Amino acid sequence: MLRQDTPTSLGTYEPYATLSLRVAEVVREQIRRKPDSRLGLPTGRTPTDTYKVLSQWTREGAINWERAKAFGLDEYYDVEETVSFRRYLETNLYSNINLPAQSQFNPLQFDDYDGLIAREGGLDLTILGIGQNGHIAFNEPGTPLLSWTHSIWLTESTLKANAEFFKGRPPANAVTMGIQTILASRKIVLMASGKNKKDILQKALHGPVTADVPASFLQLHKDLVVMTDFEY
Ligand code: GLP
């Protein structure tokens, strides 16, 4: 948990900038320690400034991605390329770093995403956000603990939360890493920004472990770090 007034090298005292800096530091340290790290990467509003910091540090020569591999957590079906999660990662991160194109993976590209991840040695570090209804990646409420990469119908809550990125409604169907895919990652950082995530984070971390709140399955992980920009 972050103190509210931690100064950041970004020159601000905003807690979101601090959160972004701290998560970026975990990624930088992971790649420094294991240059061929396999990373699970999220999309959405929460990680955008983390990607800005990682892009800045790469420009400064502080991170070398050439041996790393990146695995998108999820992707919409039948989505216009410009608003796909693949494009989000391209714009926010991949276009600013020296991660080879052939090392950028998206679940829509593979029938057996879990097999690919296993053949690559498993995920070393997965960064997650959390949806308002407690989803992680696109594992919506009701997703069983024993789930691998699979297709899902998005809930109204998720469609509403993501509508601003689309002219109309987002595609209702998507593919996502499953709960097992995520829990198999050796290290997980769960990031939450904004007081509107406080209640669901409390439920996820301190409530019962239940498919009703898929993020609660993270309580089962042995190396979970939670980073927020609010007290919880
Ligand atoms: C989407 C993504 C998740 C993300 C969640 C929260 O559903 N599939 O990976 O964590 O939204 O997004 P935000 O960070 O914008 O609140």
**Out of 140, 150, 162, 229, which one is annotated catalytic?**
140
In this structure, is the dihedral angle defined by the CA atoms of residues 25, 30, 35 and 36, taken in order, positive or negative?
Answer: negative
Nearest atom in ligand 1 to 128's CA: 10
Mean pLDDT computed over 59-75: 98
Q: From the CB of 45, is ligand 1 less than 6 Å away?
A: yes
Segment (H or E) for 23:
helix 15-33
pTM for this prediction: 0.93
Q: From the CB of 37, is ligand 1 less than 6 Å away?
A: no
How far apart are the C-alpha atoms of 83 and 44, rounded to whole Å? Answer: 11
User: Has 74 been annotated as catalytic?
Assistant: yes
Q: What pLDDT was estimated at residue 8?
A: 40
Cα of 89 from ligand 1 centre, angstroms = 13
Cβ neighbours of residue 20 under 8 Å, at least 6 residues apart? 10, 47, 49, 50, 52, 53
Q: Report pLDDT digits (tens) over 211-220.
A: 999 999 999 9
User: Has 75 been annotated as catalytic?
Assistant: no
Q: From the CB of 107, is ligand 1 less than 6 Å away?
A: no
Q: What pLDDT was estimated at residue 165?
A: 86
What percent of the chain has a predicted confidence (pLDDT) above 90? 89
**Out of 135, 139, 150, 229, which one is annotated catalytic?**
135
User: Has 140 been annotated as catalytic?
Assistant: yes
Mean pLDDT computed over 66-84: 96
Nearest atom in ligand 1 to 129's CA: 10
Neighbours of 80 (CB within 10 A): 11
The pLDDT of residue 22 is above 90: yes
What percent of the chain has a predicted confidence (pLDDT) above 70? 94
**Out of 25, 64, 120, 133, which one is annotated catalytic?**
133
Mapping DSSP to helix (H, G, I), strand (E, B) and coil, where does residue 12 land?
A: coil
The pLDDT of residue 56 is above 70: yes
How far apart are the C-alpha atoms of 204 and 133, rounded to whole Å? Answer: 10
Neighbours of 159 (CB within 10 A): 15
C-alpha distance from residue 222 to each of 6, 187, 188 (Å):
27, 8, 9
Q: What is the CA radius of gyration of the chain?
A: 17
Q: Report pLDDT digits (tens) over 122-179.
A: 999 999 999 999 999 999 999 999 999 999 999 999 999 999 889 878 899 999 999 9
The pLDDT of residue 3 is above 50: no
More confident residue, 167 or 36: 36
Q: What pLDDT was estimated at residue 200?
A: 97
**Do the beta carbons of residue 176 and residue 139 sit within 8 Å?**
yes
User: Has 133 been annotated as catalytic?
Assistant: yes
Cα 210 from chain centroid (whole Å):
21
- Of 17, 121, 129, 12, nearest in space to 69 by CA: 121
C-alpha distance from residue 51 to each of 99, 188, 202 (Å):
13, 17, 26
Q: From the CB of 126, is ligand 1 less than 6 Å away?
A: no
The pLDDT of residue 203 is above 70: yes
- Of 127, 128, 131, nearest in space to 196 by CA: 131
What does pLDDT average to over the chain?
Answer: 93
Cα of 26 from ligand 1 centre, angstroms = 20
C-alpha distance from residue 102 to each of 84, 99, 109, 213 (Å):
18, 8, 12, 34
How far apart are the C-alpha atoms of 15 and 228, rounded to whole Å? Answer: 8
How far apart are the C-alpha atoms of 133 and 57, rounded to whole Å? Answer: 33
